[in-house]
Structure 1
Amino acid sequence: MTQRLTPPQGQPVRINAILGNVDDPVWRSRRHAATVDRLVLDQWEAQKSRLRRNTKGGKEIALSLDRGVQLRDGDVLAWDEDGNALLVAQIDLKDVMEVELSGLLGSMPDVVVQTCLELGHAIGNQHWPAVVKGTKVYVPLTVDRAVMGSVMKTHAFEGITYDFRPGAEVIPYLAPHEARRLFGAAAREGEGHTHAP
C-alpha cells in the first residue's frame, strides 16, 4: 500500500493502519534506500489510537488506528513509493523494573503467599502500577532507579530478585491493556506520589 506523504495544502497526512515494521525483511530493504521521516512519541502517546503530531521532518500527522491496535517502535505508518519515502514510528519507552518471583517456586505455599503479599504491599504503598506475567512482575520506572532499588533492598524479600530492563525488551510480551498500564502510568509520573523508602 502506497500513500503520498504530501497531502493537499493545510491537510495532515492521515494514518489509518500500520503497514509493517522496519525489522521485517521487506521494509528493512526499502528503508535503506528510502528517505525516512519519524513520528516520535513517548510511551503514553504510543498507547493512543488517535492523535495529531508533527514528524521530525515537520509533516502534520493525523493518526486514527482501530481500537486495540498498539504502535511499536519501528512501525511503518506510510510508504510513498513514488517519492521513495517512509514514515516510521519512533517510540521512546522508559526502563522497567523486572521483579523475578521464580526463586519462590520451591518454597512452602504460606511463604509464597506471604512474600507476594508483602511485595504487593511495598509496590502498592509507592503507588507504582505493576503487571504480572508468569513469575515476573514489571513495574514502570516512575522515579529514579536508586529510589526503586532502595525500596526493594529495604524490604529484603527472600527468593525475589530484581533488575532494570529497557521497555522495548518488555513490550512485545504485553497485551495492549498491560502496556497502557505499565507505560502510560510511567509517562504520567507527576500525577502520583512516592513515599520515601
Structure 2
Amino acid sequence: MLVAETYLGHREDADLSARLADADPVRVVLSDTERRRSRVRTESTEGEDVGIVVARDLADGDVLETDDGTLLVVELATIEALVLDFSDANVSPTAALELGHALGNRHWDLAMWDGEALFPVPDTRERMLDAVEDDLPPGVTTRFEDVPPTTFDDGAEHSHGGEGHSHGDHGHDDGHTHSHGHDHSHGVRTIDGDDR
C-alpha cells in the first residue's frame, strides 16, 4: 500500500506543475467526508491501495508525496446542489425574509452566486423541493447541479467553472414566496464571479 504523508501544495504551483509533468502521479478521488479526515484509506483511480495521513482538509488539485516518493494528486467528487435562481424574480423584502427564516431553521449550508442560492442535497431531490416549494417567491426557479464540495466552505478558494460543474435537471418554477437562506450555525459562502 502507498502511504501519502507529505503535503506538497497545489498542482497549479509552478514547481509542482513541472514535477507532475515529468512524473506519473497516482490519482485519488475523495468524497466530501474523506477530504476532511486526517487519515483515509482509499484506492487510486487505477485500483491501487492508498493511505493518506495529513492533518488538513484537502482540496481538488492538492498534491501529496507518498513514502516512496510517488506523487499523489487529489481530486474531489462533486456533490449535488439545489439551486434557487432569483435572476428573473422580483422578490419583496418580506418574501426574502420569510424564505430566509424557513430555510435558515433547517441549518443547511448555503452559497450565494450572482442571483442564485445553492444548497447541498443531503437527502433526496424530492424532499429538498418539498422543503422549499411552499416558501418560494413567484418567479424563482429551481434546478439541481453538480458542484465541488468546496462551494460551501467558508472563505475557501476554489474553482467553480468548467471542471466538476455540470448543469442538472431544470425544473420547477412555481409561484410562492421568499429569498435568501439565513443560516444560524454555518456561514454563508458568497462565490465571486471568478470563483465560479
Same fold (TM over 0.5): yes
Question: C-alpha displacement at 1:102, in angstroms?
Answer: 4.2
- What is the rounded CA distance, in whole Å, between the counterparts of 2:151 and 2:99 in structure 1? 28
Pick aligned residue for 1:116 from 92, 97, 100 = 97
Flag the 1:52–1:88 CA change in 2: closer, same or farther, 3 A. Answer: same
Equivalent of 1:53 in 32, 41, 61: 41
Aligned to 2:76: 91
Could you tell me the percent identity over the aligned residues?
19
Shift, 1:14, TM fit: 1.7
Letter in 1 for 2:25: V
Question: Aligned-pair distance for 1:96?
Answer: 1.0
Q: Show structure 2 runs of 5+ residues with no match.
A: 159-185, 188-196
- Out of 149, 159, 171, the position equivalent to 2:150 is 171
Larger strand proportion, structure 1 or 2?
2
Instruction: Report the Cα offset of residue 130 of structure 1.
Output: 2.9
- SS of the counterpart of 1:142? coil
**Structure 1 residues 117 and 60, CA gap change in structure 2 (3 angstroms):** same
2:173 corresponds to? none
The higher radius of gyration belongs to: 1
Answer yes or no: is 1:71 the counterpart of 2:58. yes
Deviation, structure 1 residue 133 = 2.8
- CA distance in structure 1 between the partners assigned to 2:97 and 2:49 by the alignment: 49
After TM superposition, give the deviation of residue 141 of structure 1 in Å. Answer: 1.0
Q: How far apart, CA to CA, are the structure 2 residues paired with 1:167 and 1:136? A: 13
Which whole-Å CA distance do the structure 1 matches of 2:101 and 2:125 have between them? 18
What is the alpha-carbon root mean square deviation over aligned residues?
A: 3.9
Give SS of 2:72's match: strand
- The answer to whether structure 1 residue 138 and structure 2 residue 118 are counterparts is yes
Shift of 1:26: 5.9
Deviation at 1:140, TM superposition (A): 0.8
Q: TM-score if structure 2 supplies the norm length?
A: 0.58
Stretches of structure 1 that go unaligned for 5 or more consecutive residues are 7-11, 183-197
Other structure's SS at 1:64 match: coil
Cross-structure match for 2:172: none
Q: CA deviation at 1:93?
A: 2.9
Aligned residue for 2:41, secondary structure, equals strand
Alpha carbons of 1:45 and 1:136: their partners in 2 closer, same or farther (altered >3 Å)? same
Summarize the Cα distance change of 1:26–1:91 in structure 2 as closer, same or farther, 3 Å threshold: same
Larger helix share, 1 or 2:
1
